[in-house]
Amino acid sequence: MPDLFHEFGDDLVAGPSGDLALAEAAALGRQRVLRRLLTNPGDYIWQPDYGAGLARFIGQPASAARIRAVVRSQIFRERAVARSPEPVVDVQAGSDGRVFVTIRYADADSGETQGLSFRVGEE
């Protein structure tokens, strides 16, 4: 079932006919994975346990292993992520405090490899 196309932190997008764009299939799955990872637990009042809260690592000494563990503990909560093959989570913590996360996983419906990259922290 399609949903509104909405990348975390961005505005809604207009579709080709001027209405709101929709996301479905793999694009919807990627959006949901990113939203889960960047949402703080407790931010959704109807689902207080939803979210990985990666933003809590901002201002803390970077721990790639800890961030990787949080991502892995949350990613399988999204139906779009296949259990096999195992998702690959790469976390790079720079000396300047920037942390970059790259995830590759198989889409549960199509089996196609999906990629997701983002930075934890402010611009």
Distance separating alpha carbons of residues 42 and 107, to the nearest angstrom: 27
Over the stretch 61-92, which tens digit does the pLDDT of each residue have? 667 888 899 899 899 898 889 989 999 999 98
pLDDT score of 6 more than 60? no
Class of domain 3-120: alpha beta
- Nearest alpha carbon to residue 86 among 72, 69, 70: 72
Over the stretch 11-66, which tens digit does the pLDDT of each residue have? 556 666 766 555 565 677 788 888 888 888 888 888 888 888 887 777 666 678 88
**Model confidence, pTM:** 0.72
Distance separating alpha carbons of residues 59 and 54, to the nearest angstrom: 11
The count of C-alpha atoms lying within 13 angstroms of the C-alpha of 45, restricted to the half-sphere facing its C-beta, is 0
Q: Output the six-digit token pair for 78.
A: 């999204």
pLDDT score of 96 more than 60? yes
What's at 110, amino acid-wise? S
The domain segmentation of the chain, as residue ranges, is 3-120
Distance separating alpha carbons of residues 21 and 26, to the nearest angstrom: 15
